[in-house]
């Protein structure tokens, strides 16, 4: 058909125009494309050669595939080939194949293209296509859902919830005991607060970042007014969006802390915080305003389109031509909600979550993590989920050895993830994780003491700061005994798990470990004091906390060093003894100690995998009832894998055992 003397563009010519003639006849030819589609690994991939000049020329003339390779190959040359720029005539061997989704990933199909340059520089492309494209039967991934407040987004979200109801590993949605108060969203423009009488029903729960004060939260002086109705103009945008979403999902009630907890009633606040874990666990669905930096920002805005995406031809196995949209994978963004300590339990505990990220709408349950609308989920995502067995098994007696190890590993992951998040009120260091601790206590019993578990206490004592180059100062207000991670700020790294495998040998004996709770009915909350009594070896050592080294104070050469200030010790150690081991400070103040002489208290040793002695660095503290008291200032590790030049570790471990108290 001729139009104005020109032949109209047919779908095939439009698709062919996406790549150059050479690419159309090499990776995008019928035989080559089907070889790449069927390839099970790199050895089966389609391979072809191309020069840098050819790539540049075709890229300049608009070939999308050559543009992509031209952008990637300079990285290969600089990193792998150690050159600055590609030689014009340099030949590159390019391997191409489609990669199938891993089991359990959604959407399930070949939604990734794997590319190798000269067999040594692998990288990937994520691909998707429109639902009405010829390629849609073969590529299941779709473009990311960007209009998260559109009617279709709620339809698709409800489809995810419906599918989840049939998951064997997910709890079935069912009426549950309602929270004390809820927001009635029957009329989103005229919400009101209701007391439930702990009746049965279903509700949504909101997880979000406050980010600023909320002057119109529920208080003693406005609760009666809010029962009659809440002026929508007084409600921050994030909560407005949650009310609208709850209504559009077909739910009547929403739980949100600012409105459902009486914020100036201490008793109500304490009681409701204790129940929060159950509210999120019992919710029909949690709504996570992941992208909103503050409560005033909302989360239902249209998401921006990704940059750097481009179209490529897709040859269907039946010979029909389609197209696929491609872009390089991007790391999952750290959303504002992922930086807040209180929000961790709100991510880990709910059975079903609609997570409004900065790029799309995501659905998470205990079986799947997927993007609503079936777009590709980031291959670099940071999955945060508790082991399924924690929601199924009622107690430890029903756990297998594998289950027990999985729960132990999960606690270490939770501790590291939680402590790197921020708290508006640092005094909440224990309270904000108490809901998760409550869940773990189902398996470990009432053995929680200021952030540690009695059943694994020796190992638990060996936590250390995760960022030694940026140590935070110690809190000005007492928060926990010095042997607890609650006594310091910053991200905590738990000790390597040896006790579970029976690989460690105790080097001290725990005689007593007690804490004083701020509230007797809140065993996982604030503490006002605590002490740890141990029967142990106590060895004088010289410590350079800035250089992270300790030295045996019994060395003859250490005589002068023991009298040194830190500045003198640094000069002394450059010309003297081999380090005994490494020792890491707990805080900025501990790293700035002027006196070099401290005490090493061995906690455990291992001669199997780790081959080391680990323990605490302590200094004398205030005496208590004529007892010798110390406080923790760091942690040490002495390697035993190879004989040290001047130190015999086993001999060093000999000495008088004494009873000491660490406060």
Lowest-pLDDT choice from 124-138, 241-255, 598-612, 642-656: 642-656
Q: Token pair of 364, please?
A: 């998470």
pLDDT in tens, 71-125: 988 888 887 767 678 888 989 999 999 988 765 555 666 788 999 999 887 888 9
Return the pLDDT at 435.
93
Helix orientation angle between 52-60 and 64-79, rounded to the nearest 10 degrees: 140
pLDDT in tens, 179-189: 999 999 999 99
d(CA 360, CA 305): 10
- Chain-wide mean pLDDT for the chain? 88
For 355: left if phi > 0, alpha if psi spans -120 to 50, otherwise beta; the answer is beta
pLDDT in tens, 196-232: 998 999 999 999 999 999 999 999 999 999 999 999 9
* DSSP three-state, residue 158: helix
Position 568 pLDDT exceeds 60: no
Position 650 pLDDT exceeds 90: no
- Confidence class of residue 628 from pLDDT cuts 50, 70 and 90? confident
- Confidence class of residue 327 from pLDDT cuts 50, 70 and 90? confident
pLDDT in tens, 2-34: 333 333 334 889 999 999 999 999 999 999 999
d(CA 352, CA 367): 10
Return the pLDDT at 147.
97
Return the pLDDT at 10.
45
Provide mean pLDDT across the span 165-169: 90
Q: Are 327 and 308 in contact (CB under 8 A)?
A: yes
Q: What angle do CA 659, 662, 663 make, to 5 degrees?
A: 145
CB neighbours of 456 closer than 8 A, spacing ≥ 6?
Answer: 408, 499, 500
Return the pLDDT at 9.
39
- Which string of DSSP letters, residue by residue, matches 167-212? -TTSPPP--EEPPSEEEE-SSTTS-EEEE-TT-EE--EEEE----S
pLDDT in tens, 361-406: 999 998 888 899 998 887 656 667 898 888 876 666 678 888 888 8
Position 561 pLDDT exceeds 60: no
Return the pLDDT at 573.
61
Percentage of the chain modeled with pLDDT above 70: 89
pLDDT in tens, 485-540: 999 999 999 988 776 666 778 999 999 999 999 998 889 999 999 999 999 999 99
- Which string of DSSP letters, residue by residue, matches 223-268? HHHHHH---GGGS-HHHHHHHHHHHHTT--EEE-HHHHS-TT-HHH
* DSSP three-state, residue 12: helix
Position 163 pLDDT exceeds 90: yes
Count CA atoms closer than 13 A to 238's CA, side-chain side: 26
d(CA 564, CA 575): 14
Position 66 pLDDT exceeds 80: yes
Position 646 pLDDT exceeds 50: no
Provide mean pLDDT across the span 314-333: 89
Provide mean pLDDT across the span 241-251: 98
Lowest-pLDDT choice from 53-62, 103-112, 406-415: 103-112
Look up the pTM and report it: 0.88
- Confidence class of residue 43 from pLDDT cuts 50, 70 and 90? confident
d(CA 73, CA 176): 57
Return the pLDDT at 202.
97
């Amino acid at each position: 058909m001729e139009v104005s003397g020109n032949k109209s563009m047919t779908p095939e010519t439009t698709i062919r125009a996406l790549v150059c003639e050479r690419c159309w006849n090499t990776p995008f030819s019928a035989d080559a494309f089907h070889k790449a589609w069927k390839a099970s690994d790199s050895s089966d991939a389609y391979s072809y050669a191309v020069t840098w000049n050819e790539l540049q020329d075709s890229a300049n003339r608009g070939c999308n595939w050559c543009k992509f390779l031209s952008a990637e190959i300079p990285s290969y040359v600089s990193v792998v080939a150690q050159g600055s720029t590609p030689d014009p005539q340099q030949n590159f061997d390019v391997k191409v194949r489609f990669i199938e989704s891993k089991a359990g990933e959604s959407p399930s199909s070949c939604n990734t293209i794997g590319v190798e340059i000269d067999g040594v520089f692998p990288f990937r492309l994520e691909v998707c296509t429109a639902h009405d494209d010829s390629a849609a039967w073969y590529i299941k991934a779709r473009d990311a859902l960007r209009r998260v407040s559109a009617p279709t987004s709620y339809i698709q979200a409800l489809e995810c919830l419906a599918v989840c109801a049939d998951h064997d590993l997910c709890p079935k949605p069912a009426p549950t005991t309602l929270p004390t108060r809820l927001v009635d969203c029957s009329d989103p423009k005229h919400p009101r607060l209701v007391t439930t009488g702990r009746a049965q029903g279903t509700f949504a729960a909101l997880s979000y970042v406050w980010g600023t004060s909320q002057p119109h939260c529920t208080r003693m002086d406005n609760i009666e007014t809010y029962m009659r109705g809440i002026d929508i103009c007084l409600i921050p945008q994030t909560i407005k969006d949650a009310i609208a979403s709850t209504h559009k999902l077909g739910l009547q009630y929403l739980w949100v802390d600012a409105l459902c907890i009486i914020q100036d009633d201490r008793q109500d606040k304490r009681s409701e915080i204790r129940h929060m874990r159950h509210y999120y666990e019992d919710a029909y669905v949690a709504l996570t305003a992941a992208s909103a930096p503050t409560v005033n920002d909302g989360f239902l805005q249209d998401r921006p389109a990704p940059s750097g995406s481009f179209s490529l031809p897709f040859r269907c196995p039946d010979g029909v031509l389609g197209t696929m949209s491609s872009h390089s994978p991007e790391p999952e963004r750290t959303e504002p909600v992922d930086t807040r300590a209180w929000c961790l339990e709100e991510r880990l505990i709910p059975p079903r979550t609609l997570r409004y990220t900065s790029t799309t709408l995501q659905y998470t349950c205990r079986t799947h993590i997927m993007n609503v609308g079936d777009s590709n989920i980031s291959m670099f995502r940071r999955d945060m989920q508790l082991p399924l067995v924690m929601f199924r098994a009622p107690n430890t007696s029903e756990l297998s050895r594998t289950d027990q190890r999985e729960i132990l590993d999960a606690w270490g992951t939770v501790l590291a993830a939680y402590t790197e998040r921020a708290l508006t009120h640092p005094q909440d260091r224990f309270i904000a994780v108490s809901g998760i601790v409550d869940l773990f206590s189902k398996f470990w019993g009432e053995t929680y003491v200021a952030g540690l578990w009695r059943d694994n206490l020796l190992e638990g004592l060996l936590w250390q700061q995760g960022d030694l180059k940026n140590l935070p100062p110690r809190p000005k207000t007492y928060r926990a005994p010095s042997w607890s991670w609650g006594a310091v700020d910053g991200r905590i790294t738990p000790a390597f798990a040896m006790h579970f495998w029976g690989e460690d040998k105790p080097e001290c004996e725990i005689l007593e470990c007690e804490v004083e709770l701020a509230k007797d009915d809140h065993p996982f909350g604030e503490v006002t004091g605590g002490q740890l009594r141990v029967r142990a070896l106590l060895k004088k050592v010289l410590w350079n906390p800035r250089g992270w080294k300790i030295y045996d104070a019994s060395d003859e050469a250490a005589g002068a060093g023991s009298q040194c200030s830190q500045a003198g010790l640094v000069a002394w150690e450059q010309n003297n003894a081999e380090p005994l081991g490494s020792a890491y400070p707990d805080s900025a103040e501990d790293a700035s100690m002027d006196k070099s002489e401290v005490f090493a208290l061995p906690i455990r040793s291992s001669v199997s995998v780790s081959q080391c002695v680990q323990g605490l660095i302590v200094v004398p503290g205030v005496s208590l009832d004529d007892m010798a008291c110390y406080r923790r200032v760091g942690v040490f590790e002495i390697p035993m894998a190879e004989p040290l030049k001047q130190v015999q570790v086993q001999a060093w471990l000999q000495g008088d055992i004494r009873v000491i108290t660490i406060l």
